[in-house]
């Protein structure tokens, strides 16, 4: 079992996060890169995988492999049971009311596209408006632009301030009866801002406008309760939360999903087919055409078990501490500017260094065995808003340590020496 140690201190119950014990669960973290211990600070791009997830995928292929929902034979039933059990785990993980509100997708991108195309086809018409924010990942911009082009709707953008916080009052003013959906990120991958999504949902709902949350970054780091948030849709990716690539989830409230047309046609999503007419399967299968990513779903179920065993509250608290430390240590280096200073932040430290291109910082750090991302982070409008071509981004996870932040600081200083 992954572990964090509970201790009694000064009469109060506090918790100590045993990160070294947790690191034992991730075989890749034992690696050396360019002769240095790997310091993996790119979890916002994809997280590392614990051994239990790797084992689950291996044993699926070694012991359970068969297609789901299609066979009376033993293996097919076994695979189907595992695949559907994972759906229940995910339902509980985000506290969805119904299992059929969990639609398997390839990831957050596919989930957002599904809503844009399906909800959009039915509910968005000429002259309607769609609201997103200025800090969205391209995955939560482009699908809506495509829809606007198809249906002659208008895309509107909630502005952000210089700290990277959403201007809620502006948003309240943007709402009107033409707005058909609001789609915002829960946690920005480029700035680390935790968006006050509950307030956004309350405001949107007060005008009967549904809200989609892009949870790609939030699901691995914050305890997500879709019923408490009251969001209408929530999209996230397995690979960013210790699960496999190629699997993700779209949560949707039943009444929306029931009323929306399928986007992909094919096997499994039908109830009956004749050349004259096809009737569609019930939820969630209506949205899951074709053979799905079976091992991905099973692996994601195991990743959810793993995250639960560590505890999302403990993960969030530890990562908060880590981000505070990183902000202090990296922010104190002369010439470093941190991009994104929201009061509520998690896990992302985007920065620039005077006179050095972020790619050069990334290259020097790589030679030190440190993996960070350098670029626009699929958020070009954010780079434009802050007037930078790119940033270096260290993104944290609960398996990172303060020593790794110290190594990052030494690496950044080295880059400054090399390029000054
Ligand atoms: C905020 C945000 N939304 C959406 C995505 C897209 O996720 P995926 O590529 O897994 O579909 C990402 C990926 O980095 C992200 O950070």
* pLDDT single digits (tens) 173-198: 999 999 999 999 999 999 999 999 99
Q: Is-contact 236 248, C-beta < 8 A?
A: yes
Say yes or no: CB of residue 395 within 6 Å of ligand 1.
no
Ligand 1 atom showing the smallest separation from residue 239 Cα: 10
What spacing in Å lies between the alpha carbon of 295 and ligand 1's midpoint?
21
Please state which CATH number belongs to domain 3-50+311-418. Answer: 3.90.1150.10
What spacing in Å lies between the alpha carbon of 137 and ligand 1's midpoint?
7
CA 208 – CA 205 distance, rounded (Å): 4
What spacing in Å lies between the alpha carbon of 77 and ligand 1's midpoint?
33
Say yes or no: CB of residue 89 within 6 Å of ligand 1.
no
Give the range among 5-19, 138-152, 264-278 with minimum mean pLDDT: 5-19
- Check pLDDT > 70 for residue 10: no
Q: Is-contact 4 18, C-beta < 8 A?
A: yes
Say yes or no: CB of residue 47 within 6 Å of ligand 1.
no
pLDDT of residue 70: 78
What does the mean pLDDT of the chain come to?
A: 95
Say yes or no: CB of residue 352 within 6 Å of ligand 1.
no
pLDDT band at 319 (very low <50, low <70, confident <90, very high): very high
pLDDT of residue 420: 82
Say yes or no: CB of residue 237 within 6 Å of ligand 1.
yes
| Test site for ligand 1: of 110, 142, 189, 221, most ligand atoms within 8 A of the Cβ | 189
| Test site for ligand 1: of 105, 107, 164, 233, most ligand atoms within 8 A of the Cβ | 107
Say yes or no: CB of residue 219 within 6 Å of ligand 1.
no
Say yes or no: CB of residue 183 within 6 Å of ligand 1.
no
Cis peptide before 344 (omega within 30 of 0): no
- Check pLDDT > 70 for residue 158: yes
What spacing in Å lies between the alpha carbon of 14 and ligand 1's midpoint?
34
| CA nearest neighbour of 78 among 92, 89, 67 | 67
Q: What are the extents of the domains in the chain?
A: 3-50+311-418, 55-308
Please state which CATH number belongs to domain 55-308. Answer: 3.40.640.10
Span 244-249, mean pLDDT? 98
Cα Rg of the chain (Å, integer): 22
Say yes or no: CB of residue 43 within 6 Å of ligand 1.
no
List CB contacts of 208: < 8 A, sequence separation 6 or more.
none
Say yes or no: CB of residue 133 within 6 Å of ligand 1.
no
Structure token pair of residue 271: 């109830």
Span 22-40, mean pLDDT? 98
Give the range among 61-70, 239-248, 363-372 with minimum mean pLDDT: 61-70
Q: Which residues of 279-307 are buried (b: 16+ CB within 10 A; e: fewer)?
A: ebbebbbbbbbeebbbbbbbbbbbbbbbb
55-64 tens-digit pLDDT: 999 999 999 9
pLDDT band at 8 (very low <50, low <70, confident <90, very high): very low
What spacing in Å lies between the alpha carbon of 108 and ligand 1's midpoint?
6
Q: Whose CA is nearest to atom 16 of ligand 1?
A: 189
Place of tokens 């399928």: 262
Place of tokens 């930078």: 388
Say yes or no: CB of residue 217 within 6 Å of ligand 1.
yes
pLDDT of residue 15: 52
Residue 126: is it exposed, middle or buried by C-beta count within 10 angstroms (0-12/13-18/19+)? exposed
| Test site for ligand 1: of 106, 109, 376, most ligand atoms within 8 A of the Cβ | 109
Q: Is-contact 399 4, C-beta < 8 A?
A: no
3-state secondary structure the chain: CCCCEEEEECCEEEEECCHHHHHCCCHHHHCEECCEECEECECCCCCCCCHHHHHHHHHHHHHHCCCCCCCCCHHHHHHHHHHHHHHHHHHHHCCCCCHHHEEEECCHHHHHHHHHHHHHHHHCCCCCEEEEECCCCHHHCHHHHHHHHHHCCEEEEECECCCCCECHHHHHHHCCCCEEEEEEECECCCCCEECCHHHHHHHHHCCCCCEEEECCCCCCCCCCCHHHHCCCEEEEEHHHHCCCCCCEEEEECHHHHHHCCCCCCCCCCEEEECCCCEEECCCCHHHCCCCCCHHHHHHHHHHHHHHHHHCHHHHHHHHHHHHHHHHHHHHCCCCEEEECCCCCECCEEEEEECCECHHHHHHHHHHCCEECEEECCCCHHHHHHCCCCCEEEEECCCCCCHHHHHHHHHHHHHHHHHHC
Ligand 1 atom showing the smallest separation from residue 106 Cα: 11
Say yes or no: CB of residue 393 within 6 Å of ligand 1.
no
What spacing in Å lies between the alpha carbon of 247 and ligand 1's midpoint?
12
338-368 tens-digit pLDDT: 999 999 999 999 999 999 999 999 999 999 9
How many CB atoms lie under 10 A from the CB of residue 311? 17
What spacing in Å lies between the alpha carbon of 83 and ligand 1's midpoint?
23
Say yes or no: CB of residue 214 within 6 Å of ligand 1.
yes
| Test site for ligand 1: of 46, 112, 139, 293, most ligand atoms within 8 A of the Cβ | 139
Catalytic machinery residues: 378
What spacing in Å lies between the alpha carbon of 133 and ligand 1's midpoint?
15
289-313 tens-digit pLDDT: 999 999 999 999 999 999 999 999 9
CA 70 – CA 80 distance, rounded (Å): 9
């Amino acid at each position: 079992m992954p572990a964090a140690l509970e201790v009694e201190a000064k009469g109060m119950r506090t918790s100590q996060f045993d990160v070294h014990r947790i690191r034992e669960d991730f075989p890749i973290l034992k690696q050396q890169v360019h002769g240095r211990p790997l310091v993996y600070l790119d979890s916002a791009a994809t997280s590392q995988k614990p051994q239990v997830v790797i084992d689950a995928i291996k044993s699926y292929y070694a012991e359970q492999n068969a297609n789901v929902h299609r066979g009376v034979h033993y293996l097919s039933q076994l695979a189907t049971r595992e695949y559907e059990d994972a759906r229940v785990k995910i339902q509980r993980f985000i506290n969805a009311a119904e299992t059929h509100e969990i639609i398997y997708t390839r990831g957050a991108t596919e989930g957002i596209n599904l809503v844009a195309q399906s909800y959009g086809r039915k509910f968005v018409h000429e002259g309607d408006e769609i609201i997103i924010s200025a800090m969205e990942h391209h995955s939560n911009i482009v699908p809506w632009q495509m829809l606007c082009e198809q249906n002659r709707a208008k895309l509107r953008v909630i502005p952000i301030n210089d700290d990277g916080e959403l201007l809620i009052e502006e948003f309240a003013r943007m709402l009107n009866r033409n707005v058909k959906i609001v789609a915002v990120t829960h946690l920005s991958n480029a700035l680390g801002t935790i968006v006050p999504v509950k307030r956004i949902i309350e405001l949107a709902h007060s005008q009967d406008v549904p809200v989609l949350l892009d949870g790609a970054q939030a699901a691995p780091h914050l305890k997500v309760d879709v019923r408490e948030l009251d969001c209408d849709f929530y999209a996230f990716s397995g690979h960013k939360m210790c699960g496999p690539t190629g699997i993700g989830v779209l949560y949707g409230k039943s009444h929306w999903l029931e009323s929306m047309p399928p986007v992909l046609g094919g096997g499994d999503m039908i109830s009956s087919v004749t050349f004259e007419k096809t009737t569609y399967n019930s939820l969630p299968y209506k949205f899951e055409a074709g053979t799905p990513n079976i091992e991905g779903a099973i692996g994601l179920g195991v990743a959810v078990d793993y995250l639960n065993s560590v505890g999302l509250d403990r993960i969030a608290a530890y990562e908060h501490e880590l981000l505070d430390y990183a902000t202090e240590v990296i922010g104190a280096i002369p010439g470093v500017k941190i991009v994104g200073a929201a009061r509520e932040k998690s896990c992302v430290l985007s920065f620039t260094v005077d006179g050095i291109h972020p790619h050069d910082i990334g290259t020097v750090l790589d030679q030190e065995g440190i993996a960070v991302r350098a670029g626009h982070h699929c958020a070009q409008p954010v780079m434009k808003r802050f007037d930078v071509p790119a940033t270096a981004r260290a993104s944290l996870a609960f398996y990172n340590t303060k020593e790794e932040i110290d190594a990052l600081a030494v690496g950044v200083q080295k880059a400054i020496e090399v390029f000054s």
